[in-house]
Amino acid sequence: MEPKTTSTMIAPKPTPKPPGREWEIAETWTKFLFPFLFVDRTKPATFACGNEFAEALLRESALHHIWTETAFRPRELENMLPYVKQYLTWPSNHRRFEMTQDCLSGDAVFEFAIPDGNASLAFRITEVVLHVFFNGVACLALEVRPAGETPLTIEEVESINAHLASRANATPFHLAKTPADLSTASFSVPKLCAERGELTVPALIDTLLGTFYGQDSEILVTPMVDRFLPVYGAVLLRPVENARIETLDERFFEFAQHHLTILRKTFTPNNISTFSQIHLEDSGHHYMPYHNVIHSQSLDGGFILAYDNGLQHFSGERAAAMESFRTSYFYMMLIPFHQRLSILRYTTAAADAGLSPERGADLRKLREEIYDFTSRCYFSQASVSEERNRIYERWQKEFHVVRMYNDLKEEVHDIDNYLADLTRQRDNELRDQAMRRDSRNMQLFALITLVFLPVSVLLYAIPALPILGRWIDFGLHPIRSAAIILGMAAFVVFMLIMMFRFVRRRRHVWLQDH
């Protein structure tokens, strides 16, 4: 028996490694957005002012010291056009409030047991930010980071996001790690969770909003989301093994094909999380400005998938790229998101104004609000960077902002035409009323002239005609003279009665017409 040589041996085919095993998650975070409208109970017919809401927020929450207004750091607004920076930083346009770290207790760890799962998923709530815009639109953003002790998998990230983003099927979570200062805090998210035993994201949001408004407050909040919270997040991958950059690009592309999701955030009847898959061939929902970064976009939000290619921008514990994604790139999404919500609000207000008794006045106010929105925050460009400006334009396209804005302009045009018709109608009514008034005055003047005409003619005729002087002579003919005077007086009284009856009848007809 001859020994087997290398040439005669058939090497077994290598088992393809699953895409998830070739990468480790270096860092990830997810922002859950809760958009809502606020109105002033004392002035429900008008749009709320952002500054009024902000002052009410600070006034209501002053006892708990929960929210603090924070200024923007220069790094957050890098490469933005000057008027976009002005829009975000001027208090009359936009104000940003952060929950204090004492109330947030970022060291606390929460977890919920997944049914039929082998382990509990843990996470931290690292940031809660409230964005208040000038036209009554606001957005509450909760930032969550996984906090597992073992290496994290992409499936666990997807599962955590799916459980937290669902409002209809909210998954309760409990406090797994209690911070040391929990007992001293007057209000904090971990303390709230510990007191209730379990907490859900909708209940947490309602509680956070309840810190600055209540049943007796002048602020009324209307949610603009029902079943799921829009999300915005990022995942930074690092290769498990060293490989050539060309190989990494190919592997990253394969990984993206399996996990590039928008997180549709729903569960099947078997409680298995499912997501809306975004295929790389569909360029309408993803953008790849560099070989190691992919932006996915949809109406439900978006995710950024990137890997560490050895550059300093993507390396380290807190990679600079991830900080840039959660600040300046986030605002490239938030501004079009606010534009979409604002247009939806104006469209709803136009429909409500059409049913209002004060339709003309309400539509005039709405038209001014829309003109104000156009001049303040409808930008065709947002950044001096071609890449970021392309992302901004893609978000506008994904949120249908341009099409909705064009429809809104058509609606404003219709409002202008309607208000012009109202003005013409009112002018015609005023002109008709003036003509009717002049006609009535002429008729009244004619009646008065008719009443006093015989008297005037007689008074002028008596001195001119001696025969009439002999007819009215109380010295010679007192009875005849008195009869003539009485006849003339009776004629005047009769004409006055007829005139008053005519005026009353005309007034009654005018009141019925109006």
List, as one string, the DSSP characters of 125-156: EEEEEEEEETTSEEEEEEEEEE--SSPP-HHH
Q: What is the mean pLDDT of residues 324-352?
A: 92
The whole-number average pLDDT for the span 174-189 is: 79
Please, what is the Cα angle at 340 between 364 and 389, to 5 degrees?
Answer: 120
- Mention every residue, 6+ apart, whose C-beta is less than 8 A from residue 268: 274
Using CA atoms, how far residue 330 sits from 118, 304, 350, 355, in Å, is 34, 10, 30, 38
Beta bridge pairs of residue 130: 97, 140
The answer for residues whose C-beta is within 8 angstroms of residue 163's C-beta and 6 or more apart is 112, 114, 121, 171, 173, 273
β-pair partners for 173: 199
The owner of tokens 């600079």 is 320
Amino acid of residue 412: V
- The pLDDT of residue 37 is 87
pLDDT of residue 333 exceeding 70, the answer is: yes
Which pair of tokens denotes residue 207?
A: 């509680």
CA neighbor of 296 nearest in space, from 195, 396, 394: 394
User: Among 27-36, 117-126, 465-474, 495-504, which is the least confidently predicted range?
Assistant: 465-474
Q: Which long-range contacts (CB under 8 A, 24 or more apart) does 66-71 make?
A: 66/99, 66/100, 66/103, 66/187, 66/211, 66/212, 67/97, 67/98, 67/99, 67/100, 67/130, 67/211, 67/212, 68/97, 68/98, 68/100, 69/95, 69/96, 69/97, 70/96, 70/97, 70/98
Q: How is residue 119 annotated by DSSP?
A: S
Distances (CA, A) of 149 to 26, 153, 254, 374, 504: 13, 12, 27, 49, 93
Residue with tokens 């996984």: 146
For the ranges 38-47, 201-210, 268-277, the lowest mean pLDDT is seen at 268-277
Q: Which of 65, 68, 344 is nearest to 188 (CA)?
A: 65
Pick the closest to residue 222 from 361, 364, 344 (CA basis): 344
What DSSP character marks residue 2? P
CA 127 to centroid of chain Cα atoms: 22
Q: Is 387 exposed, middle or buried (CB count within 10 Å of its CB: 0-12, 13-18, 19+)? A: middle
Give the residue extent of every domain in the chain: 23-399, 440-513
Measured between alpha carbons, how far is 32 from 23 in angstroms, rounded to an integer?
Answer: 25
Rounded-to-integer distance, Cα 131 and Cα 35, Å: 9
Q: Do the beta carbons of residue 265 and residue 165 sit within 8 Å?
A: yes
Among 42-56, 215-229, 263-277, the least confident range: 263-277
pLDDT value, residue 326: 93
pLDDT of residue 60: 58
| pLDDT, tens only, 26-61 | 999 999 999 998 876 666 544 556 666 667 666 655
Asked whether 237 and 230 are in contact (CB, 8 A), the reply is no
Which of 12-21, 73-82, 203-212, 424-433 has the largest mean confidence?
Answer: 73-82
Q: What is the mean pLDDT of residues 93-110?
A: 87
Q: Are the C-beta atoms of 137 and 345 separated by less than 8 Å? A: yes
Most confident of 11-20, 49-58, 257-266: 49-58
CA distance readout (Å), 36 to 32, 226, 387? 13, 11, 30
For residue 362, give both structure tokens: 């309400």
Q: Which helix (H) or strand (E) segment is 238 a member of?
A: strand 231-239
Tokens standing for 118? 């082998």
Phi/psi for 20 (5° steps) reads: -70, -20
Percentage of the chain beyond pLDDT 90 is 27
Quickly list H helices, 379-472: 386-398, 401-464, 466-471
The confidence score (pLDDT) of residue 486 equals 79
Q: Which residue has tokens 């997180």?
A: 263
Q: What is the pLDDT of residue 56?
A: 66
pTM of the model: 0.76
Mean pLDDT of the chain: 78
**Host H or E run for residue 301:** strand 301-307
| H helix intervals, 320-358 | 320-326, 328-354
User: What tokens appear for 374 in the block?
Assistant: 């156009």
**Of 163, 153, 152, 174, which Cα lies nearest the Cα of 115?**
163
Strand, coil or helix: 324: helix
| CA–CA distance, 481 with 477 (Å, rounded to integer) | 6
The highest-confidence range among 90-99, 366-375, 481-490, by mean pLDDT, is 90-99
Q: Are 454 and 491 in contact (CB under 8 A)?
A: yes
